[in-house]
Amino acid sequence: MDSLTGADQAGDSSTPPRIVGIGASAGGLAALEQFLEQVTPGSGLAYVVVQHLDPTQKALLAELLQRATKLPVREAENGMRVEADSVYVIPSNTELTVVDGVLHLNTPAEPRGLRLPINILFSSLARDQGERAIAVILSGMGSDGTLGLQAIRALGGLTVVQQPESAQFDSMPKSAIAAGCADIIAPPAELPGRICAYITQASKRVEPDAALTSMVQIPQTSSALPMDPLLSIFRLLQQRTRYDFSVYKPSTLHRRISRRMAIHGIDTLAMYEAFMRQNVQEIDLLFKELLIGVTSFFRDAAVWQQLADFTLPELLARQPTEQKLRAWVVGCSTGEEAYSLAIIFAEVVQRLSLYREHTLQIFATDLNPDAIAMARRGIYPASISADVSPERLARFFSAHDSYYWINKDIRDTVLFAQHNVVLDPPFTKLDLLSCRNLMIYFDAALQRKLLPLFYYSLRPGGVLLLGSSETVGRFKQLFAPIESKLRLYLRQENAPGAVPEQLAKSFPPLSKIKKELPMSLLSHTTQPAENLQTAADKVLLQVYAPAAVLVNNAGDIVYISGRTGKYLEPAAGKANWNFHAMVREGLRAPLIDAMKQAINQSEPVQLHGLQVQGSANKQSVDVTVQVFREPGALQGMMMIVFRDVAAAPAMRGRRKGHSVIEASHTAELQQYQDEIQILREETRASREELQSANEELQSTNEELQSTNEELTTSKEEMQSMNEELQAINAELQAKLDDLALAQSDMKNLLNSTDIAILFLDQNLNVRRYTEQASKIINVRESDIGRPLSDLTTSLQYPALRDDANETLRTLVFSEKQIPTSDGRWFSVRIIPYRRLDNVIDGVVITLVDITATKRLESKLRQDLNQ
């Protein structure tokens, strides 16, 4: 494996090391050993290992991993500073985090059950290391680590996952891959080399490429050679995603594109563009890479305090008759900021009893569909407790073992949608618009397009909230600062050079955004005349426009223009805004037919000379019925316009001649209308019953969902305990292998001495023996555990058992010279058997052959006697 020599580690000992967080669970020991075997000293990286361990047992992981690497392996301690070329292992029954390059150990809240220590480590690495963070997921069951990988990847860090086919348990690697947060996927033995190659490749791109640097100065039609690969990349992205990233700042594009190139080991833009054409999935990955998703709950606490204490109360006080305020959170990512606003508003209206009935509708939009899907679910990792107070967690979230789920009443306040703030029409009539830390990634031309758009979207007196690094720039005439340091601005009323109404009707492609005009040209504007015309149009509509109502497809009135009292009247009983119930006699039957006809044709339906009973006499009315098919907000709705007309005298004369017939027809028509009204009321009652049944089914569904969540939690707890058992089993298996090896070593050592040795336990039963001992004492493998007294021996030593008992009692060794029945002599030595903890646990009998010595002694004695 190539050692790292990049800029990150070049000779400066004061530079903190890059930290590689490694998460593993069941089956992870083998993967960790394969990984560490390929780690070469001198890379300058530090490795922090987290594995699911049994909280009741002392971990043996550090000593097991030390066998696989030359790097020092230490068990982590609280307050230990991370050093380069070292491995740190989590102790059992702890949670491990990294803050400012220092390890911190915490005791888990729950004694056992589902824990996510890998998520906790990775989340802390994301906060501490940012884009320098590196995270590795190895074999394991469940999904621990996936959320942590997402946090690291959102900040530009490197995420590495073991290839599922090479994992003993593939659930954790598959979960990370399915979540789309794996930059590198490979077997464990290849991962260290891929990580170092990525760092080396990334360190080469200290300065942006020339094409990226000059991008905003060269038109897209330029055929300059350095521009071609980059433009091709932009076109590939735009064809697949409908978004043009050429308006992003070059520095942002440089970091993100260079990161993808480093992951694949690609040196030039041309090579990367060719790679994208061959691998369509890379286009999607780069698209997600370019969508910055950094967010958190209540980011910049002072901003939220200002909103709670002053801004929101002032908005509520300014519109006391308005029951619903509207807000738009642009670039909401995974929803934390939108939910933070909903929580703050709930706290404000709870505190100010005067506004308890007011509500807030939040529109939260983002370009990333995956982020929107996550925001809609409203499920966040347990690590949000670092940003959300315990009081808010208890009030607005439901706690689960590994995550928090935001309450339904808060979720219902926010409407999430995928939306392109540049190309799609904006939300309007807003009281609050939040666009924080989005425009910093756009170039100046796009920023200057968005600010007038935001002005158009806000109501007079609406509030604009920007990020800490963003300002309104040259558009101070549109927005007055409320609190400059917090980037809170108030929409100016009747501002000079205000935005034309046509702005919302035309959103050209980004490629057609023109360069900025000089300030001197911007000062010459015709907008005041347009404002005057708009104001005059409004007066004319209010004073001279005919009476009209807007009706939805259920027949309910949603909007009334002008005075409609002559044509509509409330029905007796419970308040009912249904048009059919309110329309006066003489108009009901013709209008029902006209409304049916209008639905089936594109042209408006005209009714002339209808008679409606006024306060003194009948009034002749012309009615126009039209169904809207566009714009989208009015699609499917119906406009009914009433115009009074003077009755013709000739018609009155003719009607007198037919009064009897008309009276008959009127009575018959009234009967039909009564029957229709009865049927309508029955239909309404049925609809209410169906709605009630639907609510009951919904309640049952929520109960079933709650039960399912409890079962899921129980399953996850069982899975966690199973992973702990798997880890213990792996450690014990490793220990068994060590013991088997030690036993083999001891057996070979004893046999190599050519000495007969017999090991007896405290009851003088056979525990172990050497091959030489079996030639003197009749013992074999099946005699293990048999008493010494049951064995036969060639030794002429009847007191052997008694001497062994005496040694066991007095702890004093015994040594005698004993002959055998075949004429040999042995020095029999009996000593106590001491364990490592200094406990006497039997005796050891050694038999040394001294036959030669005895024969020499006998010969010497004979010679002396002669």
The one-character DSSP state at 440 is G
Q: Are residues 53 and 125 in the same domain?
A: yes
- The answer as to whether 150 is a domain residue is yes
Res 716: pLDDT: 64
Q: Could you tell me if 280 and 340 lie in one domain? A: no
From CA 73, how far away is CA 66, in angstroms rounded?
6
The pLDDT of residue 531:
53
CA distances from 471 to 366, 440, 480 (A): 21, 10, 11
Residue 523 resides in a domain? no
Annotated catalytic residue 561: no
Amino acid, res. 74: R
Residue 63 lies in a domain: yes
Give the pLDDT of residue 709.
67
DSSP 761-801: -TT-BEEEE-HHHHTTB---GGGTT-BGGG--BSB--TTHH
| Alpha carbon distances (Å) from 473 to 445, 470, 476, 483 | 12, 8, 7, 15
| Cα 150 to Cα 138: distance, rounded to the nearest angstrom | 16
Q: Per-residue pLDDT tens for 346-403?
A: 999 999 888 888 889 999 999 888 888 889 999 887 768 778 898 999 999 998 866 7
Let me know whether 163 and 62 are in one domain.
yes
CB distance 451 to 472 below 8 Å: yes
Cα–Cα distance, 153 to 159 (Å, whole number): 6
**Residue 214 is among the residues annotated as catalytic for this protein:** no
- 402 as an active site residue: the answer is no
The two most distant CA atoms of the chain are separated, in Å, by 179
36 within domain boundaries: yes
Half-sphere exposure of 443 (CA within 13 A, CB side): 22
Residue (of 596, 591, 633) closest to 612 by Cα position: 591
| Rounded CA separation 530/526 (Å) | 7
Boundary (domain end) residue, out of 647, 662, 686: 647
- Answer for the pair 626, 638: CB distance below 8 angstroms, yes or no: yes
Following CA atoms 255, 258, 263, 266 in sequence, which dihedral angle do they give, to the nearest 10 degrees?
Answer: 180
- The DSSP call for residue 568 is B
Same domain, 231 and 335: no
Question: Based on the domain organization, do 632 and 776 belong to the same domain?
Answer: no
Positions of E strands within 17-64: 18-24, 45-51
CA-CA-CA-CA dihedral for 451, 457, 461, 462, to nearest 10: -80
- Considering the domain architecture, whether residues 247 and 313 belong to the same structural domain is answered as no
Q: Is residue 705 part of a domain?
A: no
Q: Is residue 69 part of a domain?
A: yes
Catalytic residue chosen out of the listed positions 144, 170, 183, 244: 144
Q: Find the DSSP H helices in 618-658.
A: 649-657
Question: Considering 8, 52, 124, 296, which one is annotated as catalytic?
Answer: 52
Are residue 277 and residue 307 in the same domain, yes or no?
Answer: no
- From first CA to last CA, the distance across the chain in angstroms is 81
Q: Are strands 638-645 and 547-551 parallel, antiparallel or unpaired?
A: antiparallel
For 260, residues 6+ apart whose C-beta sits below 8 A from its C-beta are 272, 282, 285, 286, 289
Q: pLDDT value at position 539?
A: 56
Question: Which alpha helices (DSSP H) does 265-335 contain, by range?
Answer: 269-278, 280-290, 301-306, 312-318
- Those residues of the chain that have pLDDT short of 70 are 1-14, 109-114, 204-228, 292-293, 320-323, 383, 401-402, 494-544, 572-575, 614-616, 631-633, 647-664, 706, 709-710, 712-714, 716-717, 719-720
Contact between residue 208 and residue 202 where contact means Cβ atoms under 8 Å apart = no
The answer to whether 9 and 83 are in contact (CB under 8 A) is no
DSSP string, 120-149: HHHHHHHHHHGGG-EEEE-S-SS-TTHHHH
Q: State the pLDDT at residue 712.
A: 67
**Overall number of domains in the chain:** 5
4/84 Cα distance (integer angstroms) = 12
Q: Assign residue 641 a region: left if phi > 0, alpha if psi is -120 to 50, beta otherwise? A: beta
Can you give the pLDDT at residue 288?
78
Verify that 430 and 314 share a domain, yes or no: yes
Range of the domain at 276: 210-216+225-290
Write a three-state SS string for 154-204: HCCCEEEEECHHHCCCCHHHHHHHHCCCCCEEECHHHHHHHHHHHHHHHHC
Q: Write phi, then psi, for 532 (nearest 5 degrees).
A: -65, -45
**pLDDT per residue as tens digits for the range 290-307:** 776 677 899 888 999 999
What is the domain-level CATH number for residue 386?
Answer: 3.40.50.150
According to the model, what pLDDT value does residue 706 have? 66
Q: Do residue 413 and residue 483 come from a single domain?
A: yes
Q: Are 151 and 63 members of one domain?
A: yes
In the chain, the amino acid numbered 35 is F
The SS3 assignment for 760 reads strand
Of the residues 8, 25, 166, 183, only one is catalytic, namely 25
In-domain check, residue 710: no
pLDDT score, position 206 = 40
SS3 433: strand
Residue 446 phi/psi, 5-degree rounding, is -70, -35
Which two three-digit tokens encode residue 768? 């172990």
The verdict on 86 and 233 lying in the same domain is no
* pLDDT at residue number 541: 62
CATH number of the domain that residue 114 is part of: 3.40.50.180
Q: How far apart are CA 38 and CA 22, in angstroms?
A: 14
User: Which of 291, 348, 298, 308 lies closest to 154 in space, CA to CA?
Assistant: 291
Are 442 and 509 found together in one domain? yes
Q: Left, alpha or beta for 541 (phi > 0: left; psi -120 to 50: alpha)?
A: alpha
The token pair at 361 is 């509708």
Domain assignment present for 707 = no
Domain-ending residue, one of 594, 629, 647: 647
d(Cα 409, Cα 169) in Å, to the nearest integer?
39
Q: CA-based Rg of the chain, rounded to a whole angstrom?
A: 42
The residue type of 724 is E
Angle ∠(446,447,452) on CA atoms, nearest 5: 100
CATH of the domain at 641: 3.30.450.20
Task: Return the pLDDT at 664.
Answer: 61
Question: pLDDT by residue (tens digit) across 258-293?
Answer: 888 888 888 888 888 888 888 888 888 888 777 766
Place of tokens 């079962």: 711
In this prediction, residue 463 carries a pLDDT of 93
> How far is residue 52's CA from residue 652's CA, in Å, rounded to a whole number?
94
> Which of 647, 671, 701 is the last residue in one of the domains?
647
